[in-house]
Amino acid sequence: MSPMDRCHVAGMAWTTALGDDPEVVWSRLCAGETGLVPVATKGAGRLRNDRAGMVSSFPPDQPPAERL
């Protein structure tokens, strides 16, 4: 096998509506969960549908660059 055929994963992290632990998220996905919940919206931020994937592990008013 040449070095170009190899793949190394140094780490894995994510923040999703199903959680932030890869094993938990995978388990919930395999159980058929989506993480989508009903969300009431209005005004300028109104969504085109009534369901969204809410991520609650950080404040919604926190700038994206600080959500690490």
> Which two three-digit tokens encode residue 66?
């600080």
Spatial separation of the C-alpha atoms in residues 44 and 40, rounded to whole Å: 13
Residue 63, pLDDT above cutoff 70: yes
- Across the range 25-44, mean pLDDT stands at 85
**Mean pLDDT across 1-21:** 78
The contacts of residue 25 (CB under 8 Å, 6+ apart) are 14, 16, 18, 19
Band (10; pLDDT cuts 50, 70, 90): confident
What is the amino acid identity at position 12?
Answer: M
Radius of gyration in angstroms for the set of CA atoms belonging to the chain, rounded to a whole number: 17
